[in-house]
Amino acid sequence: MQIRKLESKDANLFREIRLQALKQVPEAFAASYEEEFQEGISFFESKLLNKEVFFGLFKEEDKLVGIISLSRSTLLKMQHKAAIGSVFITKEARGKGFGKKLFTHVMEKAQAEGIEQLQLVVAAHNDKAKQLYESLGFQLFGLEKRALKVNGEYIDEEYMMKILR
């Protein structure tokens, strides 16, 4: 198992896991499968070269089984915090502690970069994810009713945060 920052050379693997995530758990992402499926590989390469940094968990050298992103604010007064997003572990890799490993890696990277606070958003009904986040010290600080509308159903989202130092 290896966790590393994804680079443009990983664009095909990233596209594959990203589309899988959007299709399997559409309520967990603001973006939709239909939108991103239409995009060419350059779209996914540009996402990997953006300010939002994506990390991947590789079971083997070319087997990407998990992703997570870290996005630090560019605004001077908000540079002490960052947002975690795009969290996904493939079905076959779930239940093996990979999500916790990804989060731990990203939290260590964030601290090393001087980030003091992390925030994330989770679907209110996603108890399994919330359990993981709470076990890592994240606390609820807000709720947005009807944040997303997926296939005619509204999804409430909870906002969580963790102070690193």
Tens digits of residue pLDDT in 43-59:
999 999 988 999 999 98
Percent of the chain with pLDDT over 90: 93
Cα–Cα distance measured from residue 69 to residue 87, given in angstroms and rounded to the nearest whole number? 7
**Which pLDDT belongs to residue 24?**
95
The percent of residues in the chain predicted with pLDDT above 70, rounded, is 100
Smallest CA-to-CA distance from 21 within 96, 70, 91, 108 is with: 91
Q: What is the pLDDT of residue 62?
A: 81
pLDDT for res 126: 95
What letter does residue 17 receive in the DSSP assignment?
H
**Topology of the domain covering 2-163:** Aminopeptidase (3.40.630)
User: Which amino acid belongs to residue 44?
Assistant: F
Q: What are 134-145's pLDDT values in tens digits?
A: 999 999 999 999
How high is the mean pLDDT of the chain? 95
CA nearest neighbour of 30 among 43, 18, 16, 46: 18
Would you give the end-to-end CA distance of the chain in angstroms? 29
Q: Where are the domains of the chain?
A: 2-163
> What is the predicted pLDDT for the residue at 61?
75
Q: Could you tell me the pLDDT band of residue 85, with boundaries at 50, 70 and 90?
A: very high
Report the pLDDT value the prediction gives residue 60, as an integer from 0 to 100: 79
15: pLDDT confidence band, cut at 50, 70 and 90? very high
